[in-house]
Amino acid sequence: MRNIVVFIDQPGSALGKAGKELLTFARGLGAPVAAVAGELSEAVRAELGEYGVAQVLNSNQAELFEYSIVPKAEFLAVAAQRVDAQLVLTGNSAEHKEIAARLAVLLDAGVISDAVGVVADADAGIQVEKLVLAGSYTVSASVRSAIGIVALKANGVEPEAAGSSSAAAVETVEVPFSELALRARIASRQARPASGRPELSEARIVVAGGRGVDGDFGPVEELADLLGAAVGASRAATDAGWIDHSAQVGQTGKTVSPQLYISVGISGAIQQKAGMQTSKFIVAVNQDAESPVFEIADLGIVGDLFTVLPQAIEEIKRRRA
């Protein structure tokens, strides 16, 4: 069995959903080896074991967190070489994609980002599935290099613990960071206020508001909370300052692929569609029957969001009572 290195970035006190997904993928392809940057708690070590990890490489060197991106790539390069990995899997956040890109240079390897699936084919080797041109094509790609680097999107697989769990052996790695790794210093870091809602790119349901909410995200947030959904927004809404930029869905915001996307007061410009058109179901509420969002909505409602949403909210409460 070949070793598959899975990057686990600062897990804190518990393994997140994204890490569990990566490990689930890795188990289907070979033997998962966790490369953990940051402090490794006993609880996380146990969870890694439950997800089929027998070997953990860990570095908690300060440079990993004091400088931007490159130290983490150098850590992963050491880890991949230590276990002679065939594949390195990372998450697909902006930061993790760049780590994957730098790692690929360090290992002289091919890199594929935005992957939605990875399969090991006996003849063709490792095949990576991804969507391109804003979700209008699927492609199957592979690397020619001895080792491949793949950044995987969230929600590609249900995280599943391995049948049997073993205690993962932990090895501490000391990375000899290069001068180049220490060029970009993180001068300050500020946590963004947590909403308490699910993370946008991982959520099963997203309720998104646009210019039509006219400054009032109240109904959008209330519906989202009833459904356990994340709140998204169009650029018009984030540019207006009605909601944080991190909520923006679209070409220059986040790409989401939830089970359900409820689009409220959003016209559906091409840049907005690019971020949400791979959702399983789309419901759109908009006053204007000509809005392009209706071209892709499974259920389109021509109406005023300030009457449709409160009615839906009351109805959900009534049915649940």
Partner 1 sequence: MTIVVLVKYVPDAQFDRHLDGARHTIDRAESILSELDEYPLEAALQLAEARGGASAGNRIIAVTMGPESASAAVKKALQIGAYEGVHLSDPALAGSDVAGTSKALAALIDSLGPVDLVLTGMASTDGETSLVPAQLAARLGFGQATFAAALELDGDLAVVRRDGDAFSEVIEVQLPAVISVTDQINDPRYPNFKGIMAAKKRKIEVLTLAGIGLDPATVGASGAQAVVARSQPVPARGAGVLITDSGDAGIALVDFLADQKLL
Ligand X SMILES: Cc1cc2nc3c(=O)[nH]c(=O)nc-3n(C[C@H](O)[C@H](O)[C@H](O)COP(=O)(O)OP(=O)(O)OC[C@H]3O[C@@H](n4cnc5c(N)ncnc54)[C@H](O)[C@@H]3O)c2cc1C
Strand (E) or helix (H) holding 203: none
- When binding is defined by CB under 8 A, the residue of 46, 81, 145, 169 that contacts partner 1 is 145
Q: Give kind and range of the element (H or E) at residue 152.
A: strand 148-152
Q: Interacting stretch for ligand X, rule CB under 6 A, among 30-38, 56-64, 170-178, 249-257?
A: 249-257
Give residue for tokens 């360090």: 106
Q: By CB under 6 A, name the one of 3, 55, 58, 234 that touches ligand X.
A: 234
Q: Which residues, 1 to 60, sit near partner 1 by CB under 8 A?
A: none
The residues in 181-210 that bind ligand X, with binding defined as CB under 6 A, are: 210
Closer residue to partner 1 in complex, CB, 132/169:
132
Question: How do 125-132 and 110-121 pair as beta strands?
Answer: antiparallel
> Is residue 237 within the footprint of ligand X (CB under 6 A)?
yes
Q: How far apart are the first and last CA of the chain?
A: 53
Closest distance to ligand X from the beta carbon of 173 (Å): 38
- The encoded tokens of residue 136 equal 């209008």
Contact between 250 and ligand X by CB under 6 A: the answer reads yes
Buried b (16+ CB within 10 A) or exposed e, 42-76: eebbebbbbbbbebbbbbebebbeebebbbbbbbb
SS3 assignment for 90-132: ECCCHHHHHHHHHHHHHHCCEEEEEEEEEEEECCCEEEEEEEE
Stretch that binds partner 1, among 13-21, 55-63, 79-87, 288-296 (CB under 8 A): 288-296
* 169-228 binders of partner 1 (CB under 8 A): 180, 183-192, 199, 205, 227
Segment 262-291, which members bind ligand X (CB under 6 A)? 265-267, 269, 271-272, 275, 285-288, 291
187-219 exposure pattern, b = at least 16 Cβ within 10 A, e = fewer: eeeeeeeebebbebbbbebbbbbbbbbeeebeb
Stretch that binds ligand X, among 58-66, 103-111, 220-228, 300-308 (CB under 6 A): 300-308
DSSP state string for 262-289 = EEES----HHHHTTTTT-SEEEEEES-T
* Binding of residue 277 to partner 1 (CB under 8 A): yes
Which of the residues 98 through 117 are near partner 1 (CB under 8 A)? 98, 100-102, 104-106, 108-114
Contact at 8 Å (CB) between 32 and 52? yes
Q: Does 297 bind partner 1 (CB under 8 A)?
A: yes
- What tokens were used for 91? 């998450």
Pick the stretch among 42-50, 122-130, 155-163, 243-251 that binds ligand X (CB under 6 A). 243-251
Could you tell me the smallest distance in angstroms from the CB atom of residue 113 to ligand X?
Answer: 18
Q: How far is the CB of 130 from ligand X (least distance, A)?
A: 19
Question: From the CB of 156, what's the least distance to ligand X, in Å?
Answer: 22
Query: Which of 14, 43, 124, 167 touches partner 1 by CB under 8 A?
Result: 124
Least CB distance to ligand X at residue 302 (A): 9
**Residue located via tokens 């993370």:** 199
Shortest separation between residue 252's beta carbon and partner 1, angstroms: 5
Ramachandran region, residue 90 (left: φ > 0; alpha: ψ -120 to 50; beta: rest): beta
By CB under 6 A, residue 300 contacts ligand X: no
* Residue 171 C-beta: closest distance to partner 1, Å: 27
- Beta bridge partners, 286, equal 302
The residue among 42 and 185 lying less far from partner 1, judged by its C-beta, is 185
CB of 288 to ligand X, least distance (A): 4
Query: 208: alpha, beta or left, given left = phi > 0 and alpha = psi -120 to 50?
Result: beta
